[in-house]
Amino acid sequence: MGTHHSELLRDTLDLLILKLLAQRPLHGWAVQSQLRLVSQSALQVGPGSLYPALHRLEHRGWISAEWQLTERKRRAKVYRLTPAGRRQLERETKGWRRLVHAVDLILERS
Label the pairing between strands 26-27 and 75-81.
antiparallel
Q: Comparing 5 with 53, which gets the higher pLDDT? A: 53
Q: Under the phi-then-psi rule, with left for phi > 0, alpha for psi from -120 to 50, and beta for the rest, what region is 27? A: beta
Nearest to 85 by CA among 34, 15, 11, 9: 15
Average pLDDT over residues 20-46: 95
Q: Which helix (H) or strand (E) holds 12?
A: helix 5-23
For the chain, the domains span: 7-107
* Dihedral in degrees, nearest 10, Cα atoms 43, 47, 51, 53: -30
**For 56-96, what is each residue's pLDDT tens digit?**
999 999 999 999 998 888 899 999 999 999 999 999 999 99
Model confidence band, residue 110 (pLDDT cutoffs 50, 70, 90): low
In the chain, % of residues over pLDDT 90: 81
Q: Is the pLDDT of residue 1 over 80?
A: no
**The CATH fold of domain 7-107:** Arc Repressor Mutant, subunit A (1.10.10)
What pLDDT, on a 0 to 100 scale, did the predictor assign at position 10?
86
What pLDDT, on a 0 to 100 scale, did the predictor assign at position 48?
93
What pLDDT, on a 0 to 100 scale, did the predictor assign at position 3?
53
Model confidence band, residue 51 (pLDDT cutoffs 50, 70, 90): very high
